[in-house]
Chain A
């Protein structure tokens, strides 16, 4: 079990550019989550996948954000036309999906800086 991995770990981009982040969950975990965390705050839920289906999405999520999990394994989060307010740590987490087990395991995060 290698844990949740995220790539890249750091990203610096200019305002208006598009960025894409990748998350590889723990193998055989069918639940995958994306969060955003800013300094001094707790993680803020962005979206949830069960296998390849995106079942829940935050109402706060701008149309510039999109996420996919095409084969029910890894996931990507894309931000189009980045803004300075998008600067944050983007966290991915996975859980097994077993009945009665809701333990969630996080990756190391991708830190995004928009100049």
Chain B
């Protein structure tokens, strides 16, 4: 069965302290891997879609990478406004169902 595991569950960083969030997945025929940011009480905000191993995408201080088994979301020199929960999801072939992980709660301290 398709599954997504995110680690760590929570992460506290000092402003400017770079780090990476992990998303491990098992899926039958990866159709896409997706990263979202979610602020408390709000809907997830789309960040990136990755389709094949080796693919990388960047947006401001965020960079997402993909291998055949996992994806990383690298945060470079984070700021307090980057504090949020970061969600990873996958979609397998033959389905429109997106499977989400439980997220990583990131707190960036000034």
- From the candidates A41, A105, A107, A111, name the one contacting B102 in the complex (CB within 8 A): A41
Contacts of B95 in A (CB 8 A): 56
- From the candidates B34, B43, B101, B103, name the one contacting A102 in the complex (CB within 8 A): B34
Tell me, yes or no, whether A85 is within 8 Å of chain B by CB: no
Contacts of B41 in A (CB 8 A): 111
A42-B103 contact given A91-B44, A106-B46, A108-B43, CB 8 Å threshold: yes
A83 and B103 alpha carbons, distance in the complex (Å): 27
B interface, size bucket? 20 to 34
A66 and B86 alpha carbons, distance in the complex (Å): 30
Secondary structure call for the B interface = strand
A104-B102 contact given A42-B89, A91-B43, A109-B43, CB 8 Å threshold: no
| Interface residues of B, Cβ cutoff 8 Å to A | 4, 31-32, 34, 36, 41-46, 49, 87, 89, 91, 95-103
Tell me, yes or no, whether A27 is within 8 Å of chain B by CB: no
CB distance from B103 to the nearest CB of A (A): 6
Contacts of B34 in A (CB 8 A): 102-104
